[in-house]
Structure 1
Amino acid sequence: MSTAIILVFALLLDAALGEPKWLWDRLPHPAVLMGRAVSALDRTLNTERAPLLSGLLTLALLMGGAYLIGWALTFLGSIFQVIIVAILLAQRSLVQHVAAVASGLRVSLGDGRRAVSMIVSRDTTNTDASSTARAAIESAAENLSDGVIAPAFWFLIGGLPALMVYKIVNTADSMIAYRTPKYEKFGKAAAYMDDAMNLIPARLTCLLIAVPAGLARQWPAIGRDARKHRSPNAGWPEAAMARAIGVALAGPRAYNGEMQQFPWVGEDGKRTLGPRDIDAALSQLWRAWGIMLGLTFLLALLGTT
């Protein structure tokens, strides 16, 4: 099978099955194994001596190991590649986690807060219903890029080796790229590499949300909104999502008990949000996924990858 055909089947398999609990209760998920690798190198190499160089060495070891594992897995054949790629995609699990926030809010604010705390790093202890819904929608947009479009993109570019490299970089970024005394320098290489590898996928995700929503002519405005975001990449899918469903995203929120005044993305959108707005975001996730599937199928027909 070509790379594109493998990806088509993997996208469909992930959408159909997601993350089977019965399987991952018995076996460690690849994301867990990647996390263990990052943690092991963090414990071993993250010292006060030359933290920038240690972080760079950590990243090089992780990327090199991921590439070799990806290369070795290609010899298992196309069917196994379909399964592996499906495992490393996250469309269905993303939808399920975000939908759980809407379901929770329909029961009580506490249930909504508990559900959203599973998918965001911000402090959700005292969030109101609108902030809880907003966090879920932002997570939906950002993780569509990080968990679906970017892995698919890198698999199309370089097969399993490139996909594995992307996933380990993304994992390292989520674990060690913090602006704290321990990680400020050590995690810098991972942070920059993650930004670089998400540069194109984030903007592609933005397009996949914007085009079916009829926002192609608003691209300059979406770009202005995206550049308000603290992240060089996450702002793009969030800006498209904000305009696609008519809401304001980002804005003030609490981290580690402290309120931080971030600018609004899509500031003209409504700011009182609820479960229906989450439902609207979920529809956008499936539209973007469907277009990605269609484009991949077209590539398969053309035989370009």
Structure 2
Amino acid sequence: MYFDIALIAYITDRIFGEFTFIRHPVVLMGDFITAFEKRFYRDTIVRGFWLVFWLLAAVLALVTPISLIGNPWILGIIASTGIAGKMLYTSVSNVLNDPQSIRYLVSRDTENLSESDINKAAIETYAENLSDGVIAPLFYLLVFGLVGLFLYKAINTLDSMVGYRNDKYEKFGKASARLDDVLNYIPSRITAVLIVTLFGKLGKLRQTWRYGALHESPNAGYPIAAMAFSLDLSLGGVTSYFGKMKEKPYFGKGRREISDGDVRRALALQWKLDTLVIIVLAAGVIV
């Protein structure tokens, strides 16, 4: 296991966040996806499969030689670009000062959201992206090294760009969406366990599992339900996407009116998570 590289990557991300002087690897992946789609798009499963194949082949060809570098510091700094912990925390925190910035974080319609709805969206995206942006990348880095990390990021980026169930991407994005579901199965559940544990609500784990399974995504509901039960809130509910109201289940049994203070309580998880992750990774390095 790559404890040393993971430790350096996690700490580097927490201190420096995104390196703005370079073109981010995820942006480069997005450029590849956009270019492929413009030239080869056809709403078929086969064409979507080839998009996945060629992006993963390109990532593998580029990252494998880099992964052979023997210096864990260099590898750790490179790997930090695949972890989005500081950016996630900062982005959700900014919603408290600029509620309209929520439109940059979620895919739901944001024009007519109430203050409570904005706060709910902030907490939901924080919980869900703790899995996608922090725990999952760290998991694949720790188990499979730099190659595993960036292959995961490629699939996650594919899902975020084409993995939608709509007229354009129903078939073209199916391979991307299914692969993302598979890769996030374990990390999403690890994230849920971490949330209830760090909030001292381990007794809510069974309810978290039951409510998490209500989400249409096989993974997203678990960290959201974990956050809801940890904060004694009800998240989810009817939400507008692309001008259409969507009936979503509620996650949790608590209060439905969400305040700024609830967002701050959710964000208070970060220092506990940082402490736990650094201790576990450091112990792995020492052992």
**Shared fold per TM-score greater than 0.5:** yes
- Letter matched to residue 45 of structure 1: F
Q: Does 1:277 align with 2:277?
A: no
Equivalent residue letter for 1:31: V
Q: How does 1:1-305 map to 2 (within 5 A)?
A: 3-21=2-20, 23=21, 27-47=22-42, 51-76=44-69, 77-104=71-98, 112=99, 114-266=100-252, 268-302=253-287
SS at match of 1:254: strand
Query: Letter of the aligned partner of 2:90 in structure 1?
Result: Q
Moved more, 82-91 or 139-148: 82-91
Deviation digits for residues 121-168 of structure 1, max 9, x if unmatched? Answer: 110100000000000000000111000100000001111111110000
Query: Which ranges of structure 2 fall in alignment gaps of 5 or more residues?
Result: none
Q: Deviations over 1:18-68 (max 9, x none)?
A: 1244x2xxx3211110101111222233225xx111111211111222122
How far the C-alpha of 1:223 sits from its partner, in A, is 0.5
Q: CA RMSD in A?
A: 1.4
Question: Deviation at 1:198?
Answer: 0.4
TM-score, normalised to structure 2's length?
Answer: 0.95
Q: Are the equivalent residues in 1 in contact too, given 2:19–2:81 (CA < 8 A)?
A: no
Structure 1 residue 285, shift from structure 2 partner? 3.1
Identity %: 35
Q: How many residues align?
A: 286
Q: 1:229 & 1:235 partners in 2: Cα distance?
A: 5
| Superimposed CA distance per residue, residues 185-221 of structure 1 (whole angstroms, 9 cap, x where no aligned partner) | 0110000000000000000111111112222232211
What is the alpha-carbon distance in structure 1 between the residues aligned to residue 33 and residue 26 of structure 2?
11
Deviation (angstroms), 1:254? 0.6
Aligned AA (1:288): L
For 1:101, give the aligned amino acid.
V
**Deviation string for 1:64-117 (max 9, x for gaps)?**
22122221211343222111111111111111000001122xxxxxxx1x2111
Q: Which stretch of structure 1 is more off in the superposition, 274-283 or 63-72?
A: 63-72
Gaps of 5+ in 1: 105-111
Partner of 1:109 in structure 2? none
Q: Distance in 1 between matches of 2:229 and 2:270?
A: 14
Q: Which amino acid aligns with 1:7?
A: A
- Kept in 1, the 8 Å contact 2:163–2:176? The answer is yes
